[in-house]
């Protein structure tokens, strides 16, 4: 089993409910165990500003799935939630990003791990630190030392841990 961290985001429809669905779906993946889920955060969109604010979280899985198989499963969850990819950084019913997988660095046509933008985004690093305060990137950088580890006024806590349990 390998640790994997997944970034969750949504800003269309019922974002909180979409994230609840995603967490429960990830908990049901084969050869996978959900171990932690961060608090729920709100943040403004990156990119086009003509869209609603996002709801974000990070989940930790223990999985025997390969990174590419895990990515395929995450994309299937997105598709089941009605994800449509219309424009880069556009609005989404559900976005699931494979942020970290074990200590691996992966660079293929359809997968880059660590996620290339995560180190710049408080809405990823802050929830990651909620559930893994000692997280270290494959290059040896401590997540807590990144500038994005300091939440600004645009990152709001919407719900404490356990928000996804019904």
Active-site residue flag, 97? yes
Query: Among the options 16, 53, 69, 97, which is catalytic?
Result: 97
Q: What is the pLDDT of residue 116?
A: 85
Q: What is the pLDDT of residue 165?
A: 87
> The tokens of 165 are what?
């349990």
What does the DSSP assignment read for 40-80? EEEEPPSS-SSSPPEEEEEEEEEE-S-HHHHHHHHHHHHHH
Active-site residue flag, 103? no
Please indicate, yes or no, whether the overall pTM of this predicted structure exceeds 0.75: yes
Query: Among the options 92, 104, 107, 121, which is catalytic?
Result: 92
Q: What angle do CA 100, 104, 109 make, to 5 degrees?
A: 85
Residues 6+ apart with CB under 8 A from 26: 6, 32, 34, 59, 61, 74, 77, 96
Determine the distance from the C-alpha atom of residue 49 to the mean position of all C-alpha atoms in its chain, rounded to a whole number.
21
Average pLDDT over all residues of the chain: 90
Q: Are 62 and 3 in contact (CB under 8 A)?
A: yes
Q: What is the pLDDT of residue 87?
A: 59
Judged against a pLDDT cut of 90, whether residue 52 lies above it is answered with no
pLDDT in tens, 71-119: 999 999 998 888 666 656 667 889 999 999 999 998 999 998 898 888 8
Helix (H) / strand (E) element for 22: namely helix 15-27
> The tokens of 46 are what?
């990156």
Active-site residue flag, 154? no
Q: Are 7 and 97 in contact (CB under 8 A)?
A: yes
Domains of the chain from N-terminus onward: 2-159 (3.30.70.560)
Q: What is the pLDDT of residue 84?
A: 65
Q: Give me the mean pLDDT over the 58-81 stretch.
A: 94
Active-site residue flag, 92? yes
Q: What is the pLDDT of residue 147?
A: 84
pLDDT in tens, 139-156: 888 999 988 888 888 899
pLDDT above 70 as % of the chain: 95
Taking alpha carbons only, the member of 27, 9, 1 closest to residue 99 is 9
Q: What is the pLDDT of residue 51?
A: 82
pLDDT above 90 as % of the chain: 64
Q: What is the pLDDT of residue 166?
A: 66
> The tokens of 144 are what?
């807590």
Q: What is the pLDDT of residue 81?
A: 85
Query: Among the options 83, 103, 134, 154, which is catalytic?
Result: 83
> The tokens of 30 are what?
């084969």
């Amino acid at each position: 089993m390998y640790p994997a961290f997944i970034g969750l985001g949504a800003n269309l429809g019922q974002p909180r409910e979409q994230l609840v669905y995603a967490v429960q779906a990830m908990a049901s993946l084969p050869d996978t165990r959900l171990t932690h889920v961060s608090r729920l955060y709100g943040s403004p969109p990156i990119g086009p500003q003509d869209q609603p604010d996002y709801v974000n979280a990070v989940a930790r899985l223990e999985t025997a799935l390969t990174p590419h198989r895990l990515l395929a499963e995450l994309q299937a969850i997105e598709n089941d939630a009605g994800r449509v990819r219309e424009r880069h950084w556009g609005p989404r019913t559900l976005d699931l990003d494979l942020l970290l997988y074990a200590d691996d660095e992966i660079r293929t046509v359809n997968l880059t791990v660590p996620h290339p933008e995560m180190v710049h985004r408080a809405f990823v690093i802050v929830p990651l630190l909620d559930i893994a305060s000692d997280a270290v990137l494959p290059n040896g950088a401590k997540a807590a030392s990144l500038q994005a580890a300091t939440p600004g006024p645009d990152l709001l806590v919407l719900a404490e841990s356990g928000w996804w349990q019904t």
